[in-house]
């Protein structure tokens, strides 16, 4: 029986890993082993994700100490080397593009182990983004490339990857979405009491991103104050956001704005339900763009580019950067679909974003291993 080592770091990588692990276990022809690298005090994998996909305790968990990214990477790769030498996997499947995924790809390649990149070929073409550098290196280290959208195929082939090494499998994030929504739909608990479906805007901000400074926070507060006069705003306090608001003396400004509901971060399944029932998503966090497109929720992404162009070309996603007037105009269009063309009127679900990507990956593994 072939042994497959599935490696990931944070939640974005775990969302790719979980449905693939479940499908491999169900297949019964492979021995999947999980390897997760997470910061100290963080769960290796969220409880709802582990429960939905039957992961339980991870086979190998690497705890990353506090320190610089390079220091954490050194600890991760040293531990990964020991695990790989002990397990001797037939293939290392790298899930995600964070530093843990980068470390897994480089370590496996240095040990002469075959590597497969899951969600390969994505490019934002912003080299200032650490994840973009990781994506390029992971793909360079990989022998097999499983892509989630056509842009991944084009990017890899343009970079010289042989087309017989590239496989269009679909988006594993949607596999996770399907599994987690089954759980969320079985729960009657409302993530935000007294807020009705399609009567609120969901706002997700990355405190380590473009909103780490006071001026962008003041801009988004002006917008939310204006929006909340027309529709409820729900804003989860993702890790580090509350501390950032307090640091800039803006905690009270946000929490005391009428009709803006600051909530504790929900479990991922509950967050997906919150997204599905929202009227729009305003975010600078890339991870929810795919889910918003499949759920047909207009998404305004405060970024210069996206590694998932399918969400923009045929999905519900629109890039608005830090342009206050552009964001205001887009929100007005969404709130007044009778006056302006609704952003979702042209949206479609990208090809193979159907919850069956894991099965396609396994079909390829059946042929090549």
pLDDT tens sequence across 15-64:
999 999 999 999 999 999 999 998 877 777 888 888 889 987 778 999 99
Q: Residue 93 burial (CB < 10 Å; 0-12/13-18/19+)?
A: buried
> How confident is the model at residue 341, as a pLDDT?
52
- Write out pLDDT tens, residues 254-280: 989 999 999 998 889 989 999 999 999
* CATH number of the domain where residue 40 is located: 3.40.50.2000
Q: For residue 124, is pLDDT > 70?
A: yes
> How confident is the model at residue 345, as a pLDDT?
53
> How confident is the model at residue 249, as a pLDDT?
92
Residues 168 and 252 in one domain: no
Residues 167 and 296 in one domain: no
18 is a domain residue:
yes
Residues 28 and 104 in one domain: yes
270 is a domain residue:
no
Please count the structural domains in the chain.
2
Cβ atoms of 81 and 106 within 8 Å: the answer is: no
Return the residue matching tokens 């290392």. Answer: 92
If one compares 109 and 267, the residue with the highest pLDDT of the two is: 109
> How confident is the model at residue 349, as a pLDDT?
93
Cβ atoms of 128 and 40 within 8 Å: the answer is: no
> How confident is the model at residue 190, as a pLDDT?
57
Q: For residue 338, is pLDDT > 70?
A: no
The average pLDDT across 105-110 equals 98
Residues 291 and 309 in one domain: yes
Q: For residue 214, is pLDDT > 50?
A: yes
Residues 234 and 117 in one domain: no
310 is a domain residue:
yes
Q: For residue 188, is pLDDT > 90?
A: no
Cβ atoms of 301 and 328 within 8 Å: the answer is: no
272 is a domain residue:
no
Q: For residue 75, is pLDDT > 90?
A: yes
φ, ψ (nearest 5 deg) of residue 325:
-70, -35
Pairwise CA distance, residues 36 & 129, whole Å:
22
> CA nearest 290: which of 175, 125, 166?
175
Residues 197 and 112 in one domain: no
317 is a domain residue:
yes
The average pLDDT across 66-95 equals 95
The average pLDDT across 88-109 equals 97
> How confident is the model at residue 342, as a pLDDT?
45
**How much of the chain exceeds pLDDT 90, in percent?**
72
The average pLDDT across 150-157 equals 97
330 is a domain residue:
yes
The average pLDDT across 163-186 equals 92
Q: Name the pLDDT band for 118 (thresholds 50, 70, 90).
A: very high
Residues 137 and 206 in one domain: no
Pairwise CA distance, residues 310 & 301, whole Å:
14
Q: For residue 284, is pLDDT > 60?
A: yes
Q: What is the 3-state secondary structure (H, E, C) of the chain?
A: CEEEEEEECCHHHHHHHHHHHHHHHHHCCEEEEEEEEEECCCCCCCHHHHHHCCCCCCCEEEEECCCCHHHHHHHHHHHHHHHHHHHCCCEEEEECCCHHHHHHHHHHHHCCCCEEEEEECCCCCCCCCHHHHHHHHHHHHCCEEEECCHHHHHHHHHCCCCHHHEEECCCHHHHHHHHHHHHHHCCCCCCCCCCCCCCEEEEECCCCCCCCCHHHHHHHHHHHHHHCCCCEEEEECCCCHHHHHHHCCCHHHHHCCCCEEEECCCCHHHHHHHHHCCCEEEECCHHHHHHHHHCCCCEEECCCCCCCCHHHHCCCEEECCCCHHHHHHHHHHHHCCCCCCCHHHHCCCCCCCCCCHHHHHHHHHHHHC
Residue span of the structural domain in which 332 resides: 192-265+278-346
What is this structure's pTM?
Answer: 0.93
Q: For residue 344, is pLDDT > 50?
A: no
Residues 78 and 198 in one domain: no
If one compares 345 and 184, the residue with the highest pLDDT of the two is: 184
Residues 332 and 357 in one domain: no
Residues 9 and 108 in one domain: yes
Residues 70 and 141 in one domain: yes
The average pLDDT across 183-197 equals 73
């Amino acid at each position: 029986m072939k042994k497959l080592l599935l490696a990931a770091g944070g939640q974005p990588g775990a969302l790719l890993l979980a449905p693939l692990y479940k499908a491999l276990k169900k297949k019964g022809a492979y021995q999947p082993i999980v390897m997760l690298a997470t910061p100290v005090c963080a769960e290796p994998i969220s409880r709802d994700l582990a429960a939905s996909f039957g992961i339980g305790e991870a086979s190998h968990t690497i705890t990353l100490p506090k320190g610089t990214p390079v220091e954490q990477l050194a600890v991760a790769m040293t531990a990964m080397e020991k695990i790989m030498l002990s397990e001797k996997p037939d293939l290392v499947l790298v899930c995600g593009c964070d530093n843990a995924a980068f470390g897994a790809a480089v370590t496996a390649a240095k040990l002469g182990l075959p590597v497969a990149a899951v969600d390969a070929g994505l490019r934002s073409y912003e080299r200032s983004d650490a994840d973009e550098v990781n994506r390029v290196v992971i793909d360079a280290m990989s022998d097999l490339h499983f892509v989630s959208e056509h842009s991944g195929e084009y990017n890899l082939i343009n970079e010289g990857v042989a087309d017989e090494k590239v496989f269009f499998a679909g988006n594993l994030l949607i596999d996770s979405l399907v599994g987690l929504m089954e759980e969320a739909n079985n729960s009657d608990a409302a993530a935000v009491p007294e807020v009705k479906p399609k009567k609120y805007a969901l706002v997700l901000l990355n405190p380590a991103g473009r909103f780490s400074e006071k001026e962008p926070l003041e801009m988004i507060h002006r917008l939310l104050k204006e929006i909340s006069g027309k529709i409820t705003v729900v804003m989860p306090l993702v890790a580090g956001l509350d501390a950032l608001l307090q640091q800039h003396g803006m905690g009270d400004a946000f929490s005391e704005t009428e009709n803006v509901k600051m909530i504790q971060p929900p479990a991922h399944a509950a967050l997906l339900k919150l997204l599905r029932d929202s009227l729009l998503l305003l975010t600078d966090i890339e991870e929810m763009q795919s889910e918003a497109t499949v759920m047909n929720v207009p998404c305004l992404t405060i970024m210069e580019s996206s590694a998932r162009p399918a969400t923009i070309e045929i999905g519900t996603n629109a890039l608005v950067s830090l342009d206050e007037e552009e964001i205001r105009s887009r929100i007005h269009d969404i709130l007044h679909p009778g006056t302006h063309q609704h952003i979702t009127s042209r949206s479609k679900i990208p090809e193979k974003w159907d919850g069956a990507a894991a099965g396609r990956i396994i079909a390829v593994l059946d042929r090549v291993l």
